[in-house]
Structure 1
Amino acid sequence: MSFGKVLTAMVTPFDEQNRVDFHQTSILIEHLISSGSDGLVVTGTTGESPTLTRSEKISLWKHVVQVVHKRIPVIAGTGSNNTMDTIEMSRQAEAAGVDAVMLVAPYYNKPDQEGLYRHFKAAAESVSLPVMVYNVPGRSVTKIDPDTVVRLSKISNITSVKEASGDLNAIASIVSRTAPGFDVYSGDDHLTLPAYVIGAAGIISVASHVIGDEMQRMLRLFDLGRGRKAGALHRELLPIFEGMFSAPSPAPVKAALRCIGIETGGVRLPLRALTDEEEKGIQTLLDHSSLQS
């Protein structure tokens, strides 16, 4: 199945006691659906998955599935560095009704390429859902080589990869060597257009929380053969792409959401809230952008 072009790696809203705020989650979902998100990735890195409990994740999946009500795909981040746990959480996500699961490369224990292959294969075979592999060596240390992604793409329900290595050569290699229907998504906002130009299906984005419509417009311009216009819009969006990572994510994007009237609370330790000066920087970034009404 196609998940669309602009998917949002959704933040997890917290209340003043840093508990999951399901009411604000519903508000956020409606905002994202109405502002350019073709799909939602829940309990990924941007959703602070490392500090969510198992029960919180399961409750979130059930809630998001209910609120979305089949309007757009819901992809659950269920991966970890423990294959047995990944299998269990993927099964829980399937039972919760999500449309697909996303499995991050195992972190810390540093498997080799054969270990990675066997990890993803075992997890994929445990569910009937589409599986997205997530390559993010900047966080996991372990890099999934293009050869391994190509090998994994031959497993029937491994249907896509989120490539957050920042390596356009790797994206091009995977696109050219996998069968039609296997989708490569950029995991780096600032590479949205370059990756799309060389064959990526789209982006799994943080910035789309606040500029989803503009990102859709950029890709649409390219599809219409207006590459120069798309490039100009990419350059216009670049300060926002970069601003969303001006401090450890998702603190900047939660601040940006607050600036446009959507409260998603703070972040959990070991992440920290932005300083007043950093918050003002995010507000200034949005104020100076011609993209916000």
Structure 2
Amino acid sequence: MDFGRLLTAMVTPFDENGKVSLKRTSDLLEHLIKTGSDGVVVAGTTGESPTLSQEEKLALFEHVVRVVDGRIKVIVGTGSNNTSASIALSKEAAKLGVDAIMVVAPYYNKPNQAGIYAHFQAIAEQVDVPIIVYNIPSRSKVNISAETIIRLSHLENIVAVKEASGDLDQMAEIISGTDEHFHLYSGDDGLTLPILAIGGHGVISVSSHVIAPEMKQMMNNFRSGQIEKAAIQHQRMLPFMRELFAVPSPAPVKALLNDLGIAVGSVRLPMVELTEEEHTSLTNVYQALKRSLSLGISK
């Protein structure tokens, strides 16, 4: 199954009281659709999933499916370090008509590779929607090995992996060891082009909240053989992509969206808002990017 090349790891909009705002979610979805996202990932890391209750997640999933109405793909985060709880939430999400679920590597309890495989296998056996495996060792403290991901790809409804290990060798091994219908997505904006170069399918992005058209153009240039143009675009966007993670995400991207008139509210504790200095730095890097992109590509 193909979910597209550019998926946005969507922030969860809150109102002034810190409650999930479905109105602001609708507005954000229209912005993401208009600017070219092929799909959204709801209640992932960027969506502050650890601070969302199950009731909030399900209400958000239902609302997003209804508002999107088939215009783009809807993938929802249902994984945790509790296998039975992950299965229960995944089943409820499947009933709402989502296109896929994304399941993170079990965090904190640090299972071995056999345990990781069994965790995903148990979920895959209990739900009938496509599953994207989410490998993010920096947060989960376990790495899903290439061998394990290749084994998981043989399960009928495990169709893709979001790779945020930063290990291009591991990713190349996954791509070479899985069939053409299994897709690898970059989990790091700054590795989008390198991952495409080794055979990756696309990116699940934070930056695409703001620069989706530019990212899509870069990806299209690469795929059409305009490698040098794609490389220049990648170089120009990289400082901005890094700035979005200079402090814990999603505080920077939420601040920037608010600045641009797309109200998404603040972050929930234990995340905190940007300091004045951090906000100024973000603004300066974003403005520098816009000036750079306005110059066009001369080579």
Q: TM-score, normalised by structure 1?
A: 0.98
Provide, for residues 42-98 of structure 1, a one-character-per-residue CA deviation record: whole Å limited to 9, x for no partner: 000000000000000000000000000001110000000000000000001101111
2:275 partner letter = T
Moved more, 279-288 or 201-210: 279-288
Instruction: State the match for 2:122 in structure 1.
Output: 122
Structure 1, 254-263 or 83-92: larger mean CA deviation: 254-263
The alignment partner of 1:123 has SS state of helix
Task: Say whether the 8 Å CA contact 1:8–1:41 is kept in structure 2.
Answer: yes
Determine if contact 1:192/1:203 at 8 Å carries over to the other structure.
yes
Paired residue for 1:26? 26
Structure-to-structure mapping, 1:100-249, within 5 angstroms: 100-249=100-249
- Confirm or deny that 1:37 pairs with 2:37: yes
For residues 68-107 of structure 1, the aligned pairs below 5 Å read 68-107=68-107
Any idea what SS the aligned residue of 1:289 has? helix
Distance 1:278 1:263 in 2: 19
User: Runs of 5+ in structure 2 lacking a partner?
Assistant: 295-299
Tell me the residue number matched to 1:257: 257
Q: Distance in 2 between matches of 1:143 and 1:287?
A: 36
Aligned length: 293
Equivalent-residue separation in structure 1 for 2:161 and 2:70 (angstroms):
22
Distance in 1, matches of 2:277 and 2:31, equals 27
Aligned to 1:288: 288
* Deviation readout 1:144-173 (Å, 9 max, x if unpaired): 000000000000000000000001111110
User: Given that residues 259 and 283 in structure 1 are in contact (C-alpha distance below 8 angstroms), is that contact kept between their aligned partners in structure 2?
Assistant: no
Residue 102 of structure 1 and its aligned partner are, at CA, apart by 0.3
What is the alpha-carbon distance in structure 2 between the residues aligned to residue 256 and residue 273 of structure 1?
A: 11
State the Cα RMSD in Å. Answer: 1.1
Aligned equivalents of 1:176, 1:121: Cα separation in 2 = 22
Read off the aligned partner of 1:198 and give its amino acid letter.
I
Distance in structure 2 (CA, Å) of the matches to 1:193 and 1:36 = 18
Q: SS at 1:288's partner residue?
A: helix
Residue aligned with 2:184, SS: strand
Deviation at 1:199, TM superposition (A): 0.5
Offset of 1:259 from its aligned partner?
2.3
Distance 1:114 1:205 in 2: 29
Deviations 1:11-40 (A, max 9, x none): 000011100011010000000011121110
CA distance in 2, matches of 1:36, 1:164: 22
**Counterparts of 1:203 and 1:288, CA distance in 2:** 23
Percent of paired sites with the same residue: 54
Q: What secondary structure does 1:108 align onto?
A: coil
Partner deviation per Cα, 1:78-135 (whole Å, 9 max, x = no partner): 0000000000000011011110000000000010001000100110111110000000
TM-score (norm 2): 0.96
Partner of 1:162: helix, strand, or coil?
Answer: strand
- Once the two structures are TM-superposed, the CA of residue 3 in structure 1 deviates from its matched residue by 0.5
User: After alignment, is 43-52 or 259-268 more displaced?
Assistant: 259-268
Q: Distance in 2 between matches of 1:179 and 1:197?
A: 17
Aligned to 1:5: 5
Deviation, structure 1 residue 256? 1.4
